Amino acid sequence: MEKADIGMVGLGVMGSNLALNIAEKGFRVAVYDRDPAVVQQFYKNAGALSDKIIPCETFEALVENTRQPRPFIFLIKAGQPVDDETARLRLLLDKQDIIIDSGNSDYRDTVRRLKALGPNDPTFVGMGISGGAEGARHGASMMVGGTEAAYERIAPVLNAVAAQYEGEACVALMGPDGAGHFVKTIHNGIEYADMQMIAEIYGVLRDGLGLSAPAIGDIFAKWNEGALNSYLIEITAEVLRTQDPESGQAMVDIILDAAGQKGTGRWAAIEAQMMGVPASAIEAAVGARAVSSMRAERALAEKTYGTADHTVELEDQAAFINQLEQALLAGKIAAYAQGFVVMQAASKEHGWNIPLATVARIWRAGCIIRSQFLDDIAKAFDDGEADNLLLTPAFVEKMKASSGALRQVVAKAALGELPMPALSAALSYFDSFKQSRGTANLIQAQRDFFGAHGFERLDKQGDFHGPWGA
């Protein structure tokens, strides 16, 4: 039997879908799962694609049936399972073989795993995948971290199964070791912020204007035809217009308001904090999910303080809805700007040389945060216009046109007791960023007063202390 071009370890939803995608694109794939019954059922269900699939019930069979240098994609639970399966598989592999962890792993684990491999061991690749099960099956955005030699070996398969945007595959090498998983982490951080901002605007439309879910869905569908065109806006419209077949109510109206999280958004906020890079919109989104889980406390607080009247008094509702559209655009731009600054800082700190323009390009299809202004982001980094997107001509123009609406919306929401943690954080970041003299001079004075930390002066060079208590 002809050997497989690539191996797959883990036949859960993501692994099985990606394996079918690989087979459909004409590559032979050897598949393995710890449960042999899962392997056989997958092979049976593959139908016409089964002639491209080699079912393997042991690691030995998986290795034997994959051509050298052998690449193996892991799509299993992140953390200890990846360590365990790496330890088992590496004993059977040669120096040129490749283990590819494609789960939502912490990039620090990827760096550690690569360093733990000896000179005669296989190499380790960390590959972030965005697009969920649908992306795995029909084309995802893939962010690879590893050696150039390893990437060259797997690139033909990845280029074929990745999402395509105007003929370009949405996959690329982000840099060595943990670069791919780091970029995926920041992607998810931006995703958190984007989703939270959309939810905040939904809250204004629902509670402030009293609109029904289907009516709000129609508004988002209209917005998706303009500057906000993106996957998340598109699915928001569909979600809001979907009816529950059991109750006949809008589906979204009977879903518990407690958002889950798997950790990647939190990692993005933590990494930004560790590098001293502001990512306030992402941090606010992570915090909002945590607050959403505090259902008992929130119910008690509402009973204690009373139910707020969220009604927003308006002279022109249509004009305000247009403001909401522009406010969401401004907030999204600020969140993307923060995410790219975090990637830039990490790239410098770790020596990764992450190609930021390429990041924007491979996010244009397949991934969750794909949106129409990623072309503008790619061009800005190609042209080397600025380190921060908020200083690039295209986005300066967009923010000048939309930031006023963000300010008005945040103000009206505050007066109506409508929470806007992410959008208000985006506005504060924007206002702080464009203020040449802020208020940190007072903080420096306080730090020097109680801790003798010193400060710089405006009128001369050096490190100084104040005459406190003199």
Burial class (CB in 10 A: 0-12, 13-18, 19+), 233: buried
Q: Max alpha carbon distance in the chain (Å)?
A: 88
Instruction: HSE, CB side, 13 Å, CA atoms: give it for residue 435.
Output: 10
Give me the amino acid identity at 216. Answer: I
Give me the amino acid identity at 398. Answer: K
Is 184 a residue of the active site? yes
Report whether 316 contacts 209 (CB < 8 A): no
The gap between the terminal CA atoms of the chain, to the nearest Å, is 88
Is 191 a residue of the active site? yes
Burial class (CB in 10 A: 0-12, 13-18, 19+), 235: middle
Could you identify the residue written with the tokens 């208590």? 469
d(CA 62, CA 335): 43
Q: Is 74 helix (H, G, I), strand (E, B) or coil?
A: strand
Residue 393 DSSP symbol:
H
Q: Which secondary structure element, helix H or strand E, spans residue 374, and what is its range?
A: helix 374-382
Q: Residue 446 CB: number of other CB atoms within 10 A?
A: 13
Report whether 11 contacts 42 (CB < 8 A): yes
Tokens of 178: 């943990």
> Which one of the listed residues 52, 85, 184, 283 is annotated catalytic?
184
The arrangement of strands across the sheet holding 53-56 comes to 53-56, 29-32, 6-9, 71-74, 98-101, 123-130, 141-145, 171-175
Q: Is 53 helix (H, G, I), strand (E, B) or coil?
A: strand
d(CA 468, CA 470): 5
Could you identify the residue written with the tokens 């690449």? 71
Residue 73, beta-bridge partner list: 8, 100
**What angle do the packed helices 179-203 and 231-240 form, to 10 degrees?**
40
3-class SS letters over 76-109: CCCCHHHHHHHHHHHCCCCCCCEEEECCCCCHHH
CB proximity list for 464: less than 8 A, separation 6 or greater: 454, 455, 456, 457
> Which one of the listed residues 52, 85, 191, 283 is annotated catalytic?
191
Catalytic residues: 184, 191
